Amino acid sequence: MLYLILEIIFCLLLAAIFGFIIGWYLKAAGRQREITQLEKIWKANLYSKEEELKSSRETIEKLTADLNECRESARIAGKASTGSAGKVTTTAAKVQPPPASRGVNEDEKDDLKKIWGIGKVLEKLLNREGIYRFSQVAQL
């Protein structure tokens, strides 16, 4: 009887060892497969980012050339508009705020807090300046 119990225990241990070895092997193979898939995704993302970087560099070069051209034309225009005292004469347009309507009913006010970035305090400041509607904010 003891012999049969020992034989059963031995077979169970042997099956457990084989199961552990097979599971370990399959897990390692699955990881290798996952690593291969992630490498493919990484290479595809790297290629797209390299193309994006190349495009951005070309845009920077174009914008730098435009900036240098604008600086040169501004320098030439600055020399042409120099007054007798040697100062550049320029005029700046002043931005006019939207027309303020002080007598607005609560029904006519929009909830400006619905706009991202505007809280209670900023809404009160806008109302104090006479801005109560979304259309007035859009005109700013």
- pLDDT tens-digit map of 84-138: 445 544 444 454 555 555 556 666 788 888 888 888 888 888 888 888 888 888 8
Q: d(Cα 135, Cα 140) in Å, to the nearest integer? A: 9
What local confidence, expressed as pLDDT, does residue 133 receive?
84
DSSP label at residue 88: B
Residue spans of the domains in the chain: they are 15-91, 93-140
Say if CB 88 and CB 78 are below 8 A apart. yes
What local confidence, expressed as pLDDT, does residue 47 receive?
92
**38 HSE (CA, 13 A, CB side):** 6
**Hey, what are 72's tokens?**
């040169």
Lowest mean pLDDT among 29-33, 74-78, 91-95: 91-95
**Residue 66: what residue type?**
D
**Residue 130: what residue type?**
G
Rg of the chain over all Cα atoms, to the nearest angstrom: 37
What local confidence, expressed as pLDDT, does residue 78 receive?
78
Tell me the pTM: 0.35
